[in-house]
Structure 1
Amino acid sequence: MDGFSAIPVFVAVVESGGFSPAARSLGISKSAVSKRVNQLEQHLGVKLLHRTTRKLSLTEAGKHYFEHAAKAHNAAKDAEDAVAQLQGEPQGLLRINTPMSFGRLHIAPLIAEFLTRYPKISIDMMMDDKVNDLVAEGFDLAIRAGDLPDSSLIVRKLAPLNSVLCASPAYLELHGSPTQIEQLSQHNCLQFSYSQDVKEWTFMRDGQSQSIEVKGNYRVNNSEALRDAMLQGLGIGRLPTFVAGPDIKAGRLVTLLDEFKMPNKTIHAVFAERQYLPAKVRAFIDFAVEYLAADQPYWELE
């Protein structure tokens, strides 16, 4: 077997931490990944991985091999990207990771026009509110909402991420509108599971922050599901304006405590640092900026 051809498979296994995630990122079966790694070990005459039921770890030989294999793999990707730039028209498979609600509401509607403009590109998009490892999962780029952990990823700002406190007119008619932050403790506060401050909400006013511990009978990991409950009068919640904007404009939701703001965040496009940015990635980022980038995003305009 040609050991060089197994490098992408071995690197994917190490970077993703297992055969199953490597198989997903490579688009092949788990058994095919395992077979290629076994063949590579036989070809080299050494064991590269310690395998247990819970995790994989590199052997001493595996550590040395991975150090050089990763460099070779990155060099091969740079070579492909350099050639692709000479081909002019962007092409190839573009794998995108985006949050569920933002992806469905504001990225998915752009896909048809993007693919019409760039017919040689095909897209594989995964919408997931959990933050996936861009490199390990094999994504070309991701849309990230909110704070970004320190990393080697390259960031391109797309739009501000503004959130509002709101409720339906039906809920407010029954329970009244809070006029002070402290009064939120008396209301049914619906919560987004993936928030960093699920039970303690923080607001800003005149440069000062104020937090309040809240409670409620519904917690969910999707902003649109949270909005649905609010529209049905279940309680008060925090929603990004990219979800709540149309309902606020139509009067189905009412903003509350407008003098208090939630901490400012940003929606970014992120991608791995590459010597030669693939034309397909650059094309999509420029396209997204064309439609989404603005100090006041279109979903907040009257």
Structure 2
Amino acid sequence: MDLFTSMRTFVRVVERGSFSAVAREMNLGQPAVSKHIQALEAHLGGPLFTRSTRKLALTDQGRGFYEQCLGILANLDTATLSFATGQERVAGPLRIAAPVSFGRLHLAPRLHLFLERYPQVRIDLRLSDHNEDLLLENIDLAIRIGVLRDDSLVAVPLTDTPRQVYAAPAYLERHGQPSRPEDLATHNCIGFTLLEHYDLWQFQRGKQVYEVPIKGNVTSNSSEAIREMVLSGLGVSLSPQWLFAEDIRRGDVCAVLEGYQPRALPVNAVFSGSRRRSARVGAFVGFLRECFG
């Protein structure tokens, strides 16, 4: 048995959740993938997966072995790439996770600049408004917006993102424009549920702080969906300024309560504190700080 090949196959099965998907990816037959897993289980002396007809799930021992495999294989890749020069090169795979809108507007257009600088890096950009498990999804680096609650993550501050309240002109024609934060009580406010206290909007004017409980007939865990709902005239949202920047320029939405400043949200690059920080992660963090610092 080629232990490292079997370990790589096992990691991909965990990440893809399917033997057949990994077989297609690696240009192997499904029996060959199964053989790698069976050989690994025989070598370890126990099952890695609990098998059923509906779902492939890790055993407790399998989950621990998966996390160990990530570190072992990353170190092997680093050692292989470093051999020729005697120092770690910025090369190899780099899996990045980011919120959908931020990734679309601020990361994707800049990746060519990073890859021109480090052409031997291969980036896998994953966009989701959910905070994915970095270890389980084998994510090297994630962009997180908002206050971090996970003490297992190492955070590198990048910038703060200002926010504003936005509404479509058609909505304001029907419901009027709020002139004070308290006026939001009579408006249909769309809450972004991935933020803590999403139903309590906070503003500041001078030294005065306003906390306004909001209500509405829809919430969402997707900033892209909230943008579309605002554009359709459904209600008002408290959102990052960059989310509506183009819409403001076109006149498709209006900023309201401009005399009141909502609390800005921190933007951090985060990675797992339990995994070694590779040269490519360090290089990408440095690149992000150049872009947003």
TM-score over 0.5 (shorter chain): yes
| Structure 1: distance between partners of 2:109 and 2:35 | 40
CA positional deviation for 1:151: 3.3
One-letter amino acid of the counterpart of residue 194, structure 2: Y
Q: In 2, Cα distance between the equivalents of 1:286 and 1:245?
A: 26
Unaligned runs of 5+ in 2: none
Identify the residue that residue 57 of structure 1 maps to in structure 2.
59
Identity over aligned pairs, percent: 34
Shift of 1:127: 0.9
CA–CA separation in structure 2 for the residues paired with 1:175 and 1:137: 44
Where does 1:129-278 land on structure 2 (aligned, <5 Å)? 129-198=129-198, 200-205=199-204, 206=207, 208=209, 210-216=211-217, 218-248=218-248, 251-273=251-273, 277-278=277-278
Paired residues of 1:11 and 1:70 also in contact (CA < 8 A): no
Matches of 1:169 and 1:8 in 2, distance apart? 54
Superposed, 1:290-301 pairs within 5 Å as 290-293=290-293
Deviation of 1:188 (Å): 2.3
Partner of 1:98: 98
1:109 matched to 2:109: yes
Give secondary structure in 1 for the equivalent of 2:59: strand
Where does residue 43 of structure 2 map in the other structure? 43
- Residues 1:41 and 1:275: Cα distance change in structure 2 (over 3 Å): closer
SS in 1 for 2:281: helix
CA separation of 1:33/1:209 partners in 2, compared to 1, >3 Å: closer, same or farther?
Answer: farther
In structure 2, what is the Cα distance between the partners aligned to 1:73 and 1:192?
A: 33
TM-score (norm 1): 0.75
Tell me the residue number matched to 1:297: none
Measure, in 2, the Cα distance between the counterparts of 1:2 and 1:92. 21
Q: Distance in 1 between matches of 2:208 and 2:271?
A: 33
Corresponding residue of 1:300: none
Query: Is contact 1:19–1:34 with CA below 8 Å preserved after alignment?
Result: no
Question: How many residues are paired up?
Answer: 280
Question: 1:49–1:56: 8 Å Cα contact kept in structure 2?
Answer: yes
Q: CA deviation at 1:264?
A: 3.4
1:283 CA drift (Å): 2.1
Residues 1:77 and 2:74 aligned together: yes
CA distance in 2, matches of 1:93, 1:73: 13
SS at match of 1:95: strand
Amino acid paired to 2:215: V
Task: Call closer, same or farther: CA 1:83–1:34 in 2, change over 3 Å.
Answer: closer
Q: Residues 49-68 of structure 1: CA distance to partner in whole angstroms, max 9, x if unpaired?
A: 4615364423xxx48x957x
TM-score (normalised: structure 2): 0.77
CA 1:20/1:275 → structure 2, altered by over 3 Å: closer, same or farther? closer
Which string of whole-angstrom CA distances, capped at 9 and with x for unpartnered residues, describes residues 209-258 of structure 1? 52313113x44443234223323433211211121234345554332234
TM-superposed deviation, 1:160 = 0.4
- Residues 10-60 of structure 1: CA distance to partner in whole angstroms, max 9, x if unpaired? 57778x7x9449x77xx658956544222122334x3234615364423xx
Q: 1:209 to 1:66 in 2, by over 3 A?
A: same
Segments of 5+ residues of structure 1 without an aligned counterpart are 294-302
Which residue is equivalent to 1:299? none
Deviations 1:95-144 (A, max 9, x none): 11111100000101001222222222222111111111112112221111
What secondary structure sits across from 1:78 in the alignment?
helix
Partners of 2:189 and 2:114 in 1: how far apart? Answer: 39
1:57–1:13 Cα change, 3 Å: farther
Which is worse superposed, 178-187 or 255-264? 255-264
